[in-house]
Amino acid sequence: MFNNNFKCPICNSSDYIYLLSQSQRVGTAIGGSIGAAIGYFSRYGFTTTGATIGAIIGSAVPVVGTLAGTLTGGLAGALAGFFTGAAIGNSIGNHIDKNVISRYKCSNCNTTFKR
């Protein structure tokens, strides 16, 4: 499961130890939310460029095309920001889980312990 150099304090097994990734989940959610907001509302981010290009292309069909192009560009910016923020939040959360919290679980005996 997880290659490590320590053992469970109860059953002495090292084969069934895995890291509890609570901060990683929280970091991914927070990073994704912040990234999506920045990607959507940013003045210089993906949205402005995507919305502008979408509005120009959509201008072939005057009102509906411009609106659809702008919304599509805004959605693309929000998605790009979400994925970027989620990746950064995931990495930061994983670092916190491994180096700060260091909580592990043995799936052999269901013991939770700190390293």
Residues 97-115, mean pLDDT to the nearest whole number = 90
Structure tokens at 20: 């509890």
pLDDT tens digit sequence for 64-86: 777 777 777 778 778 888 999 99
pTM above 0.75, yes or no: no
Residue 87 has pLDDT above 90, yes or no: yes
**What pLDDT score does 1 carry?**
47
Share of the chain above pLDDT 90, in %: 37
**What pLDDT score does 6 carry?**
79
CA distance 7 to 25: 25
Q: Based on the number of CB atoms within 10 Å of its own CB, is 37 exposed (0-12), middle (13-18) or buried (19 or more)? A: middle
Residue 36 has pLDDT above 80, yes or no: yes
Residue 88 has pLDDT above 70, yes or no: yes
Higher per-residue pLDDT: 49 or 41: 41
